[in-house]
């Protein structure tokens, strides 16, 4: 039953024809050929397979001889790739790796020396037991040297062998464990989590781009709250975000609730909420300077500039929003950022003002679903001898009265400006 279920899952993938061809070619030439790692795990869980990896006992030069069009991905590490095209002429590759043992790591990420070994040693070099499974397509069976199948059934993420050793070899495995928890809904084995706590201070050895990528994937997973808890209890949040307010104990539970209530688990939402937490206790005069510091820090995290810019815009909209700032607040309803912004207002306690301003906005829509145009413009103000540097503020004030229904036509707008000018001159 398991064999037919797994095969059905494998065969549903559009690249299966190429995988099947590679396997048959290796077996035909007298070598072993196993599906390896994530594709086996995902088939057992019933998740969509992202890509396929094959493992074999053929040496790199033997693989290159068998597959004449193969690409040398890292032949000295036993890795080659076979290029294919799908039915739409899109290019892809099937990666094949020689069974190996990683002998030495020097940079906390990549092996510097390997030794070609058996499939058993190959399984024991991998990060987590659930990722160390092989599937023998020829025999139609799972090959499990590390208890990975049992851990999948128990929904546990467990490091292969000694957890600290696995994380010392490759620090990225720390973030991968958290990401898998978010995506799969598995628990992290207590000894593995303890090793994350011990080793997470060394993630500075990982490129910031990889840290950002893993964080983004973690945030978008269905079980992100469990992953957040692991990141918090292990100290990983504190390492990544240093001394930021949101990651301190007295803010943490509140932050989790707010992020959950946003109902938009994206990287933009995550960093916008963090930014609001960092700025909310500051007076308005200090927010701009703090925002500059945060932008500089976000750049060091390699967050894309577009996301940083959106975070800035939405954060400042949040602090400026309200009946005290009516015209720009109403214009928010036509902003491209309105979806996330409204969710922020709802979950962070500005719901009443949001409701009032939304009603004012609705009352002032014209036939093309935009706000009614102001009755007067800058030229009208100049004709009434309003100083150029005052025109912007005057127009906003008049427009606010118009939107509230206190001014009903152009003549009333002009009269209001005349009275305002007299008040300014007599002040």
368 pLDDT above the threshold of 60: no
Region of poorest pLDDT, from 21-30, 60-69, 349-358, 415-424:
349-358
Closest CA to 335 of 363, 360, 371, 306: 371
For residue 274, what pLDDT band results from cuts at 50, 70 and 90?
very high
275 pLDDT above the threshold of 90: yes
Residue recorded with tokens 């709250």? 225
156-241 has the same fold as 1-154: no
Q: What are phi and psi of 324, to 5 degrees?
A: -75, -15
Question: Is the distance from CB of 342 to CB of 350 less than 8 angstroms?
Answer: no
Q: What is the mean pLDDT of residues 54-78?
A: 88
For 389-422, b/e burial (b = at least 16 CB within 10 A) is eebeebbeebbbbbbeeebeeeebbbebbeebbe
Which pLDDT value is given to residue 333? 81
Q: Which residues lie below 8 Å from residue 399, measured CB to CB, with a gap of 6+?
A: 327, 374
Which pLDDT value is given to residue 263? 84
1 pLDDT above the threshold of 50: no
Which pLDDT value is given to residue 107? 61
Q: Which of 83-92, 226-235, 338-347 has the highest mean pLDDT?
A: 226-235
CATH number, domain 1-154, options 3.30.460.10, 3.40.50.720, 3.40.50.410, 3.30.160.20: 3.30.460.10
The tens digit of pLDDT for each residue in 134-180 reads: 999 888 899 999 999 999 999 999 999 999 999 999 999 999 999 99
Percent of the residues in the chain that have a pLDDT greater than 70, as a whole number: 95
Which pLDDT value is given to residue 132? 96
For residue 108, what pLDDT band results from cuts at 50, 70 and 90?
low
Closest CA to 6 of 49, 65, 59, 56: 49
Distance CA 275, CA 291 (A): 8
For residue 332, what pLDDT band results from cuts at 50, 70 and 90?
confident
Which pLDDT value is given to residue 110? 66
User: Residue 74 is inside which H or E element, if any?
Assistant: strand 71-74
The tens digit of pLDDT for each residue in 111-126 reads: 666 788 899 999 999 9
The tens digit of pLDDT for each residue in 289-313 reads: 999 999 999 999 999 999 999 999 8
Q: What are phi and psi of 349, to 5 degrees?
A: 90, 15
Q: What is the mean pLDDT of residues 44-71?
A: 92
Q: Which of 67-71, 114-118, 249-253 has the highest mean pLDDT?
A: 67-71
Q: What is the mean pLDDT of residues 11-20?
A: 91
**CA–CA distances in Å: residue 398 to residues 24, 39, 190, 317, 379:** 78, 63, 63, 21, 14
Q: What is the mean pLDDT of residues 88-104?
A: 87
DSSP state of 53: E
250 pLDDT above the threshold of 80: no
Q: What is the mean pLDDT of residues 194-219?
A: 92
Which pLDDT value is given to residue 117? 85
For residue 74, what pLDDT band results from cuts at 50, 70 and 90?
confident
For residue 86, what pLDDT band results from cuts at 50, 70 and 90?
confident
11 pLDDT above the threshold of 50: yes
For domain 156-241, say whether CATH 3.40.50.450 is its number. no
pTM of the model: 0.82
Q: Is 348 exposed, middle or buried (0-12, 13-18, 19+ CB in 10 A)?
A: middle
> Which residues make beta-bridge pairs with 124?
none
Which pLDDT value is given to residue 324? 83
Which pLDDT value is given to residue 406? 80
Domain boundaries, the chain: 1-154, 156-241, 262-364, 378-426
For 274-284, b/e burial (b = at least 16 CB within 10 A) is bbbbbbeeeee
40 pLDDT above the threshold of 70: yes
Question: Is the distance from CB of 363 to CB of 405 less than 8 angstroms?
Answer: yes
DSSP state of 350: -
Which pLDDT value is given to residue 246? 73
């Amino acid at each position: 039953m398991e064999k037919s279920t797994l095969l059905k899952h494998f065969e549903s993938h559009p690249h299966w024809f190429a995988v099947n061809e590679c396997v048959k070619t290796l077996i035909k030439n007298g070598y072993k050929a196993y599906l390896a790692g994530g594709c086996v795990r995902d088939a057992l869980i019933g998740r969509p397979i992202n890509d396929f990896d094959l493992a074999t006992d053929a040496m790199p030069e033997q693989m290159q001889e068998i597959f004449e069009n193969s690409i040398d991905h890292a032949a000295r590490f036993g890795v080659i790739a076979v290029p294919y095209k799908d039915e739409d002429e899109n290019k892809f590759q099937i990666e094949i790796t020689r069974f190996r043992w990683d002998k030495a790591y020097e940079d906390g990420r990549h092996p510097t020396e390997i030794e070609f070994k058996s499939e058993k040693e190959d399984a024991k070099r991998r990060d987590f037991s659930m990722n160390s499974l092989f599937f023998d397509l020829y025999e139609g069976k799972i090959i499990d040297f590390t208890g990975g199948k049992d851990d999948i059934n128990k929904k546990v993420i467990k490091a292969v062998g000694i957890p600290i050793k696995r994380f010392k070899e490759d620090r990225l495995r720390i973030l991968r464990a958290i990401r898998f928890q978010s995506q799969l809904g598995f628990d992290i084995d207590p000894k593995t989590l303890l090793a994350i706590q011990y080793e997470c201070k060394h993630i500075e050895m990982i490129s910031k781009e990889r840290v950002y990528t893993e964080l983004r994937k973690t945030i978008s997973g269905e079980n992100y709250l469990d992953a957040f808890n692991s990141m918090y209890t292990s100290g990983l949040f504190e390492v990544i975000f240093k001394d930021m307010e949101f990651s301190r104990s007295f803010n943490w539970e509140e932050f989790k609730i707010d992020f959950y209530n946003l109902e938009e688990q994206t990287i933009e939402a995550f960093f916008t909420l963090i930014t609001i937490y960092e700025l909310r206790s500051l007076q308005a005069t200090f927010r701009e300077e703090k925002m500059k510091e945060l932008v500089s820090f976000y750049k060091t995290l390699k967050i894309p500039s577009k996301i940083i810019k959106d975070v800035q815009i939405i954060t400042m909209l949040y602090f400026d929003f309200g009946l005290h700032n009516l015209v720009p607040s109403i214009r928010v309803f036509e902003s491209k950022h309105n979806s996330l912004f409204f969710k922020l207002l709802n979950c962070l306690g500005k719901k009443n003002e949001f409701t009032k301003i939304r009603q004012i906005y609705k009352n002032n829509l014209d036939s093309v679903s935009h706000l009614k145009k102001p009755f007067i413009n800058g030229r009208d103000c100049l004709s009434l001898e309003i100083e150029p540097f005052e025109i912007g503020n005057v127009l906003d004030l008049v427009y606010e009265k118009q939107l509230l229904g206190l001014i009903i036509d152009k003549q009333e707008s002009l009269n209001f400006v005349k009275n305002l000018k007299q008040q300014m001159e007599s002040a």
